[in-house]
C-alpha cells in the first residue's frame, strides 16, 4: 500500500492531462479532415466513402496509427486515405482535386473557429480577472494541430492531398504516372517526417498561418 501511495504521488498528472488533450485535439482534426473528404466526394456523386463508413464520427474508421502518433508527437500527420472512385465524377480530375482540397480547407476553417473561440474566452477571462485555464490552451493547441494537419497534407507528395490537387493541372499521361507511384510517395512521406527534413519549413508555415488567423479574429498573441 505504501508503494502504491508513493507511485501515485510521483505521477505527473499535469503532463498526462496535456497528453490526453493533445490526443483529443488530434482526433478532432483527423475526423473532420476525413469526413470532409468523404462528404465532398459524396456531393460530387461518389458514394464509395459512404458505403465504407467514412462519413462516420468513429475515429477508428479514419485513423492511420502511424500518422496519428506522428501528429500527436510532431504536430503533423495523416489518416487513412478516403476511398474515391473517380468514375462517378462528371469531371474526374477536377472532382478528385476538390475532394482532396476539402480536407485541408476544413482544418484551416476549424483552426480559425478555434482561435475565435480562444479570443472570446480570453475576453471573458480578462473581464472576470481569471487566468487562462485548460480550455484556453486546448483551443489554442488544437488550432495549431489543425493548421499543421492541413498544411502538411497540402504537400504535393503522393498520397497526400496536395499531390491530387497538383495532378488536376497535369496532362492525363503525367497524372497517370503520378498516381502509379503513389505507394512509393508514402515511403518518402515517412522518411521526411522521421528525418524532420521539412519540419523547419512546415513550422514557419504553421506559425505564419496561426498569427494570420489571430489577426483576422483580432486576437493579440
Active site (catalytic) residues: 34
8 A C-beta contact, residue 26 and residue 72? yes
- Helix/strand/coil (H, E, C) string of 158-214? CCCHHHHHHHCCCCHHHHHHHHHCHHHHHHHHHHHHHHCCCHHHHHHHHHHHHHHHH
Listing DSSP states for 100-126 in one string gives: HHHHHHHHHHHHHHHHHHHHHHHHHHH
Select from 166, 16, 185, 182 the least CA-distant residue to 94.
166
Q: What gap in Å lies between CA 34 and CA 72, rounded to an integer?
A: 17
Q: What gap in Å lies between CA 123 and CA 125, rounded to an integer?
A: 6
Select from 199, 143, 161 the least CA-distant residue to 28.
143
Evaluated on CA atoms 190, 47, 106, 164, the torsion sign reads positive
Select from 106, 26, 22 the least CA-distant residue to 63.
26
Amino acid at each position: 500500500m505504501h508503494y502504491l501511495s508513493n507511485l501515485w504521488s510521483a505521477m505527473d498528472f499535469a503532463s498526462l492531462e496535456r497528453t490526453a488533450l493533445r490526443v483529443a485535439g488530434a482526433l478532432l482534426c483527423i475526423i473532420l479532415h476525413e469526413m470532409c473528404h468523404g462528404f465532398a466526394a459524396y456531393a460530387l456523386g461518389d458514394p464509395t466513402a459512404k458505403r465504407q463508413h467514412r462519413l462516420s464520427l468513429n475515429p477508428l474508421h479514419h485513423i492511420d496509427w502511424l500518422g496519428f502518433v506522428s501528429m500527436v508527437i510532431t504536430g503533423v500527420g495523416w489518416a487513412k486515405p478516403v476511398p474515391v472512385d473517380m468514375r462517378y465524377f462528371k469531371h474526374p480530375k477536377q472532382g478528385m482535386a476538390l475532394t482532396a482540397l476539402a480536407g485541408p480547407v476544413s482544418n484551416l476553417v476549424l483552426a480559425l473557429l478555434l482561435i475565435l473561440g480562444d479570443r472570446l474566452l480570453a475576453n471573458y477571462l480578462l473581464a472576470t480577472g481569471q487566468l487562462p485555464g485548460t480550455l484556453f490552451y486546448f483551443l489554442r493547441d488544437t488550432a495549431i494541430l489543425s493548421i499543421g494537419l492541413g498544411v502538411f497534407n497540402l504537400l504535393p507528395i503522393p498520397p497526400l492531398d496536395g499531390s491530387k490537387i497538383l495532378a488536376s493541372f497535369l496532362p492525363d499521361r503525367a497524372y497517370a504516372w503520378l498516381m502509379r507511384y503513389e505507394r512509393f510517395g508514402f515511403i518518402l512521406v515517412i522518411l521526411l517526417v522521421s528525418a524532420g527534413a521539412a519540419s523547419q519549413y512546415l513550422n514557419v508555415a504553421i506559425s505564419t498561418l496561426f498569427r494570420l488567423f489571430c489577426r483576422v479574429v483580432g486576437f493579440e498573441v
